[in-house]
Structure 1
Amino acid sequence: MHFKACRSYSLDKLTNFGDILESYLWRELSWKEFEEICGGGECFSVIPCGSIEQHGYHLPLGTDLHIAVSLAKKAVEEAWKAGYKVLLLEPIPIGVSDMWSGNPGTLWIPLEVFIAYVKEYVLSVFRNNIKRVIVINSHGGNADPLKVALKSATSSLDPSYRAYLINYWEFVGDVIDSMFSNRFFHADEVETSIASSLGLGVKIPGKEIPYEHIKRPYSDEWHSLSLSKRPRVYFFYREGARLEVGAFNEPGRYSVEGGEAVVRAFIDRFLALLRDIRENRL
């Protein structure tokens, strides 16, 4: 993933959002620039979190990472335009992906190591007087471990230090459900639409993309795939023991336009979230 380098600007313009729009990358700031921008404790920070794992025959292994970073970058850019000070941090590229460990190319981190790493990462951000950390996650296997990590990171701090987790498919789940006939799953019509709208090339022509029927026993009664319906039961078992195509729910029906609509909804909702956080509603 490549970002445009931070352009030079004078310190007397650090409060002019238009002049420093490209300064949102944490790593590109000098310590003095960082102090000028965030010394007052008003900054938000965003950490993208993805994975390197199989996504069928038609999407690259880094699909989740690409989605997380791209959504975060677009959201942060729009936030600066709207008058929010938001810094984009380095992504967490490898997550809890052992469920796809049977597929070549998949990388994964042990659950306990992942939780500990994320906790220390967030605490390091807090130590820089950044009191609001937002994690944008694009991989289902990271979702529950991230909750544990963020809960642990904030549990012994002053309540003014807050961490927020956005799983993008939940954040705009109602939009996804209303736009696509297939329910959201892995490397499917929905994820392929979003990935392609964010500039990720699809490796196989749509009509030729193979896919598998869902093997997990989902049901609308107990654990629906509808993103607008909360599960009644969570169940766990050992995964990753066998090779599969790894794509589900007709990815060949993907739509760039549909993906763009989901991304737009994500950005709009992200700005609404920042507003409510700043106004102490959340």
Structure 2
Amino acid sequence: MRPYILAESSWKEVKTQQVDLVILPWGATEAHNYHLPYATDNIQADHIAAESAAKAWDKGGRVMVLPTVPFGVNTGQTDIRLNINMNPSTQQAVLRDIIEVLDRQGMKKLLVLNGHGGNDFKMMLRELGVAFPEMLLSCCNWFQALDKTQYFENSGDHADEMETSLMMYFAGDLVRPLSEAGSGHDKKHKVKAFREPWAWAERKWSQVTEDTGVGDPSQSDKEKGERFFNDLTDKLASFYIELCSADTDDLYE
């Protein structure tokens, strides 16, 4: 039993346990090319949250990881079979209910650990911060925490070399042979501004990619995934420890 994983904990421990930071992993249920499972984002969120929490716990960070929310925003993928969409308004309602519990019970720090590119919690947390002014509400995208070019040869953002290597490392039995994977080639938007970071329009997934992947997974391997995973969870653990000890009345210098 890991005391920093709520799903594995009992009331005997939890009723008196110090909790300085609550971590909410949030994933998605969606197709990941031909070689990765629909639960890829959730499996990654589970492993990354647990390992980073373990490292923080060992250094004195009193964190608690909630169960991963398995559904994310997939509004651009409505025609991809069994991609399960949770609208942003639904996500905000779920967040509000969770934050209300934490606030009422005196746990004043929440970090949403996001593992799906379609999720965007910043505007939700802005609004909920007004409703719960004593809460320190934060979010991070674990997939942006490190410079991926230092670990992987091919770029991408969905079922790519990074995600495939990670899955090979901690859930290799769920990864189909790379010979079955699609190329992950994606079409670029014809409107120039939408190819640049200052303008945005949602991608229509089935028009952008034939195999649902974005990024070539052909150079993926378990060792790359392990190295990335270890460095990522080290960085996240340090972040958790800082948040645990942060004085919410004295956050700026």
Question: Would you say same fold, with TM above 0.5?
Answer: yes
Structure 2: give runs of 5+ residues left out of the alignment: none
Residues 251 and 84 (structure 1 numbering): CA distance in 2 closer, same or farther, change over 3 Å? same
* Aligned-residue CA RMSD (Å): 2.6
What are the residue-to-residue correspondences of 1:26-41 with 2, within 5 Å?
Answer: 26-31=6-11, 33-38=13-18
Please state if 1:177 is matched with 2:149.
yes
Please state if 1:167 is matched with 2:141.
yes
Bigger Cα displacement from structure 2, 149-158 vs 128-137: 149-158
- The answer to whether the 8 A contact 1:208-1:252 is kept is no
- The answer to whether the 8 A contact 1:45-1:134 is kept is yes
**Which amino acid in structure 2 is aligned with residue 54 of structure 1?**
A
Match of 2:115 in 1: 138
Please state if 1:263 is matched with 2:229.
yes
Match of 1:13 in 2: none
- The answer to whether the 8 A contact 1:205-1:252 is kept is no
Deviations 1:237-273 (A, max 9, x none): 4624658311232212112111111111111111221
- The answer to whether the 8 A contact 1:100-1:239 is kept is yes
Please state if 1:244 is matched with 2:219.
no
| Match among 224, 240, 247 for residue 274 of structure 1 | 240
Match of 1:63 in 2: 40
Please state if 1:158 is matched with 2:158.
no
SS, match of residue 228 in structure 2: helix
Separation (CA, whole Å) in 2 of partners of 1:187 and 1:25: 27
SS, match of residue 201 in structure 1: helix
SS, match of residue 61 in structure 1: coil
Match of 1:93 in 2: 70
Shift of 1:193: 1.0
Number of matched pairs:
247
- The answer to whether the 8 A contact 2:152-2:162 is kept is yes
- The answer to whether the 8 A contact 2:164-2:217 is kept is yes
Shift of 1:52: 0.4
Match of 2:161 in 1: 189
Match of 2:101 in 1: 124
**Which amino acid in structure 2 is aligned with residue 156 of structure 1?**
A
Residues 198 and 234 (structure 1 numbering): CA distance in 2 closer, same or farther, change over 3 Å? farther
Separation (CA, whole Å) in 1 of partners of 2:246 and 2:180: 49
Shift of 1:152: 2.1
- The answer to whether the 8 A contact 2:194-2:200 is kept is no
Structure having greater relative contact order (Cα 8 Å, sep ≥ 6): 2
Separation (CA, whole Å) in 1 of partners of 2:180 and 2:9: 46
Bigger Cα displacement from structure 2, 109-118 vs 50-59: 109-118
Please state if 1:206 is matched with 2:211.
no
TM-score, length basis structure 1: 0.78
Match of 1:16 in 2: none
- The answer to whether the 8 A contact 2:5-2:50 is kept is no
TM-score, length basis structure 2: 0.86
Shift of 1:275: 3.1
Deviations 1:191-232 (A, max 9, x none): 1112222224354322442224221339999756xxxxxx3x
Please state if 1:113 is matched with 2:90.
yes
**Which amino acid in structure 2 is aligned with residue 25 of structure 1?**
I
Structure 1: give runs of 5+ residues left out of the alignment: 1-5, 7-21, 225-230
- The answer to whether the 8 A contact 1:119-1:150 is kept is no
Separation (CA, whole Å) in 1 of partners of 2:176 and 2:50: 27
- The answer to whether the 8 A contact 2:112-2:139 is kept is yes
Shift of 1:100: 2.3
Shift of 1:44: 1.2
| Match among 141, 145, 149 for residue 124 of structure 2 | 149
Deviations 1:155-204 (A, max 9, x none): 23334x212212111122x2x12222222311111111122222243543
